[in-house]
Structure 1
């Protein structure tokens, strides 16, 4: 990758504004749900769950979905667990209180989910233990320095493992999502943040360096179509 694709961009996305709210936010979250489903992003997380749960079988699991957005991945994981007859409880965590309210409304039919507006860099974040941490399209929002701190707190918080589902920074991914959002998106936020999120995302080397700097010894890094990375970190 050359030029603008050779290094991660740190340009802020519109979604990074924690005050963002209203119809534009709701439209954006709905479109992101559709994009994630159509491009196969959901299986990156569910196959990670399958891997960790087979390695560490137990009667039930407490899963924290960090940067939960509108709760789409919690719905996906809940449906997956139900089909597998696996008992799971979920905590949806997002720093934007407006997003949390939207997620509560969308998932109000589920009784095994709790939501909270919380900044992951607060000292209180890692005090509550969970079995598994998941995060989808979340880690690219942070600088490498912030990610090192974030990974450290994730490791302290998760008893069994961590599943990171995020984008591969690649020329084809960038121009594809730029075209898709221009043609089909009605949300200015999605049209801006979709391509920008690819520029803020990761090469395999980026991930390897972050893992090495975090002193994590047994990561699993796997590529999925369409341009997704799955990182599994076992924490016991």
Structure 2
């Protein structure tokens, strides 16, 4: 396997610029929602929630989505919960106020979804508690040291559990998304960040090591289509 995929890259994505704003943000978020829908990656998150509550009968769930983007995951959860007659309170967090502005407009038809501009490293956020924490295509934005602290933090914040849905660093995943975005994307951010996100992503042994470093003994890690890891703890 090429050395390019041996280790994670830490090159920042354009999306990491918290001041990013304007038409590129809305175009990017629209395209990401379409990509995740058609590649089936969103199912990974819903399936993770199902696994967490399988042996429970919750009257209400408070679910946080970190790095929520345009809110497409929360819309998906809201539809799923409605079909299951589950009472859910859904809160999306992002550190970029321009993304939150887009998300609020994108999800305005859902009374049980709200959004907050928040830094997950802030003391204010660290004092919050939720039933379930979701991270979809979010954890690859951080270093191993940061993730160890984040996962330890999640243990005290999530009453039921955490669902991580992120990418598998693999040549086929990289070249496939690069071809896809170059053919169809109108967003320079998507063209840059799509392939780069794969290079920032994980192999199984790296996620297992992160769980060990965070002293999390009970977790499940499953590979799912398309080149996604589902980590539930």
Q: Who is 1:32 aligned against?
A: 32
Q: Who is 1:208 aligned against?
A: 208
CA contact (8 A) 1:64 1:133 kept: yes
How far does residue 57 in structure 1 lie from its aligned partner after superposition? 2.1
CA contact (8 A) 2:66 2:133 kept: yes
- In 2, Cα distance between the equivalents of 1:85 and 1:15? 35
Moved over 6 A (4+): none
Query: How many residues are matched?
Result: 233
How far does residue 56 in structure 1 lie from its aligned partner after superposition? 2.8
Unaligned runs of 5+ in 1: none
- In 1, Cα distance between the equivalents of 2:72 and 2:90? 12
How far does residue 58 in structure 1 lie from its aligned partner after superposition? 1.3
- In 2, Cα distance between the equivalents of 1:50 and 1:37? 19
Question: SS at the partner of 2:115?
Answer: strand
- 1:9 and 2:9 are equivalent in the alignment: yes
- In 2, Cα distance between the equivalents of 1:18 and 1:206? 27
How far does residue 183 in structure 1 lie from its aligned partner after superposition? 0.1
Q: Return the TM-score normalized by structure 1.
A: 0.97
CA contact (8 A) 1:169 1:201 kept: yes
- In 1, Cα distance between the equivalents of 2:55 and 2:144? 30
Q: Return the TM-score normalized by structure 2.
A: 0.98
Unaligned runs of 5+ in 2: none
Cα deviation 1:24-64 (Å, max 9, x = unaligned)? 11000000000001111111000111111113321110000
Cα deviation 1:130-172 (Å, max 9, x = unaligned)? 1000010000000111111111111111100000000000000
Deviates more, 1:189-198 or 1:145-154: 145-154
CA contact (8 A) 1:56 1:160 kept: no
Question: SS at the partner of 1:215?
Answer: coil
CA RMSD of aligned residues (A): 0.8
